[in-house]
Amino acid sequence: MTPAHAPEALEPSRELFRLREGSAAELPWAAPGAAVSALRRLRAHRLGVAGLIIIILLTVMAGAGPQLVPYASDEQNMLATNEPPSGRHWFGTDDFGRDVFARTWIGARISLFVGLSAALLDLVIGVVYGGISGSAGGGVDLVMMRVVDLLYGIPHLLSTILFMVVLGPGLFTIIVAMVATGWLGMARLVRGQVLLLKELDYVQAAHALGVRPARLLARHLIPNAMGPILVNLTLTIPAAIFTEATLSFLGLGVPLPLASWGTMTAEGLVTLLTGQTWRLFFPAFFISLTMFAFNAFGDGLRDALDPRLRR
Partner 1 sequence: MVAYLLRRLLASLVTLWVIVTLTFVLMHAVPGDPFLTEARLSPQAVRNLRAYYGLDRPLPVQYARYVVNLLRGDLGRSLRSEVRDINQIVREGLPVSALLGAEALLLAIAGGVTLGVLAALGRNRWPDHLSIGVAIVGISVPSFILATLLIDVFAVKLALLPVSLWGTWRHTVLPAVSLALTPLAYLARLTRSSMLEELSQDYVKAALARGLSRRRVIIRHTLRGALLPALTVLGPITAGVLAGSFIIENIFGIPGIGKIFVLSISDRDYPLILSGAVVYSVLLLLANLLVDLGYTVLDPRIRIGGGSR
CB 74 within 8 A of CB 257: yes
Largest CA distance in the chain: 76
The Cα–Cα gap between 102 and 73 comes to 5
* Smallest separation, CB 276 to partner 1 (Å): 13
Closer CB to partner 1, 76 or 271, in the complex: 271
* Smallest separation, CB 107 to partner 1 (Å): 14
Closer CB to partner 1, 85 or 97, in the complex: 85
The Cα–Cα gap between 174 and 134 comes to 29
- What angle do helix axes 278-305 and 226-249 make, rounded to 10 degrees? 170
The Cα–Cα gap between 58 and 55 comes to 5
Closer CB to partner 1, 154 or 206, in the complex: 154
* Smallest separation, CB 116 to partner 1 (Å): 19
Binding site for partner 1 (CB under 8 A): 1, 149-151, 153-158, 161-166, 242, 245-246, 249-252, 265, 269, 272-273, 277, 280, 284, 287-289, 291-292, 295-296, 311
* Smallest separation, CB 218 to partner 1 (Å): 32
Distances (CA, A) of 114 to 73, 171, 253, 290: 18, 8, 11, 13
* Smallest separation, CB 281 to partner 1 (Å): 10
Positive or negative, the CA dihedral 22, 25, 26, 31 is negative
Task: Give residue 227's Cα distance to chain centre.
Answer: 15
Closer CB to partner 1, 202 or 292, in the complex: 292
114 Cβ contact partners less than 8 Å away, ≥ 6 residues apart = 171, 174, 175, 178, 240, 241, 244
* Smallest separation, CB 249 to partner 1 (Å): 5
The Cα–Cα gap between 254 and 172 comes to 9
Closer CB to partner 1, 111 or 135, in the complex: 111
Distances (CA, A) of 211 to 8, 107, 206, 218, 220: 38, 48, 6, 11, 10
* Smallest separation, CB 200 to partner 1 (Å): 27
Closer CB to partner 1, 76 or 159, in the complex: 159
* Smallest separation, CB 175 to partner 1 (Å): 17
Closer CB to partner 1, 113 or 292, in the complex: 292
Question: 121, 133, 84: which is closest to 237 by C-alpha?
Answer: 121
Closer CB to partner 1, 77 or 277, in the complex: 277
Distances (CA, A) of 161 to 154, 167, 246: 12, 10, 11
